[in-house]
Amino acid sequence: MTDSRPRARDSSPHRGTLPAEPRPDEHDRPDSGPRLVTVPAGGVPFVTDTPGGLRACAEALASGTGPVAVDAERASGIRYGQRAFLVQLKRTGSGIWLIDPEAFEDLTPLVPSLAGVEWILHAASQDLPCLWDLGLWPDRLFDTELAARLAGLPRVGLAAVLERMLGVTLAKEHSAADWSTRPLPESWLTYAALDVELLVELRERLRGLLDSQGKLEWAEQEFEHVRTSPLPGPREDPWRRTSGAHRVKDRTALAVLRQLWHAREDLARHRDVAPSRLLPDSALVAAATAQPRTVPALRQTSGFHGRAAAREAPRWVEAIRLGRERAADGDAPAVHRRGGDGPPAPRMWRDRNPEADARLRTAKPWVARHAEHLGLPTENLLTPDTLRRICWDPPNPVTPETVEAALAERGARPWQIDQVGAIVTVSLLNPLPGD
């Protein structure tokens, strides 16, 4: 996918860049408010979309120093899946690189250049899966969003953190753009380049703040946890996440909904378009409830009036037929999905397990108060799921040692165990009496 602007092929993408503007002094906080940054200090590079360009990128990254800022742009809600349509990289001495992943089988030529290099990402868990699909994975990680959470910043979006920590704000106009567009408009490339422009400076400032708060080691453990956690696998019964599915109480209707969902998914994958752009969830629920048998009847169903719906109407009618047929053959999903391996919803605890309910009512506010004292969100001190699981099924016997082991088994990091181990132990041993 070639950029339409004239340039030398396989050359450095920094040739012909936009003129740079002076870098704002990050230590200055003008009374008029944060300084607006509209273009990277080194200009906006062309998109790298040739093998020679990718080799030049690898060489430049290898010659750079320090950590590398990384970001990726997807076309969520427009294209099928969550693959990256642009990857942005910046390293000191290397400049900014904008890479079109669609032009390559993968980006593994960059791997040797990034070996042992710390990656800086904002909200890393959002971008790591699509980078993994391209053959990229960090050996070390610094997550600026997670760092901001642990530091107790009130807002943790990139723009808010940059404004608070560096006194600058970025020109942000294209966050919801269709990044599969080719060629990408110049203004979009500017937006993408700005996402990595100041991440190195931001990392330094956040690292210093965390160190001053005594939280740097905590943050490093959290970053490593994110880096080494397995990527999410396929959801069980993903069709049940259809918006409005909870209102469907008939098993035959649920079988139809399941079939419609899979039919939509298959077509979306084939056309490389987000499923919701083919049919909204509300249309699937309406068809599953009404179960029209013919195309004219389907066209009278809410959500099936448009031209696109009419074109694929036989597909949806067939899906409805198959769903009904499977239900008649005994293959109809249960109205209520079986619970996973975790405890039931806390609202049910008082009746099912009053002792566990008392333990949770004791531990939950104590953990929250300690998190407030530490200046970080409660969920970052200990996930609600971990707390619920240990309150529902505590170790036997309850001792500081067994509680710490149980927390570790459930994924708590050492710093978290140090901070909440005693609180949880006391809550399990001495829960507050019931109301």
Structure-block tokens of residue 274: 């987000």
238-328 and 346-429, same CATH topology: yes
**Region for residue 320 given its phi and psi (left: phi exceeds 0; alpha: psi -120 to 50; beta: otherwise):** alpha
Note the CATH number of domain 238-328. Answer: 1.10.150.80
Per-residue pLDDT of the chain (435 residues), as tens digits, is 434 332 333 333 333 333 333 343 444 444 568 999 999 999 999 999 999 999 999 999 999 999 999 999 999 999 999 999 999 999 999 999 999 999 999 999 999 999 999 999 999 999 999 999 999 999 999 999 999 999 999 999 999 999 999 999 987 666 678 999 999 999 999 999 999 999 999 999 999 999 999 999 999 999 999 999 999 888 899 999 999 999 999 999 999 999 999 999 999 999 999 999 999 999 999 999 999 999 999 999 999 987 877 789 999 999 999 999 999 999 999 998 766 678 999 999 999 999 999 999 999 999 999 999 999 999 999 999 999 999 999 999 999 999 999 999 999 999 999 999 999 999 999 998 865
- Using only the alpha carbons of the chain, give its radius of gyration: 26
> For the purposes of burial, counting CB atoms within 10 Å of the CB of 6, is it exposed (0-12), middle (13-18) or buried (19 or more)?
exposed
How many CB atoms neighbour CB 404 within 10 A? 20
- Domain covering 35-228 assigned CATH 3.30.2130.10 in the classification: no
Cα–Cα separations (whole angstroms), residue 261 to 121, 269, 294: 34, 12, 18
Q: Which CATH number fits domain 346-429: 3.20.20.140, 2.40.128.110, 3.30.70.100, 1.10.150.80?
A: 1.10.150.80
Q: How far apart are CA 394 and CA 352, in angstroms?
A: 16
How many CB atoms neighbour CB 146 within 10 A? 23
Domain map (residue ranges) of the chain: 35-228, 238-328, 346-429
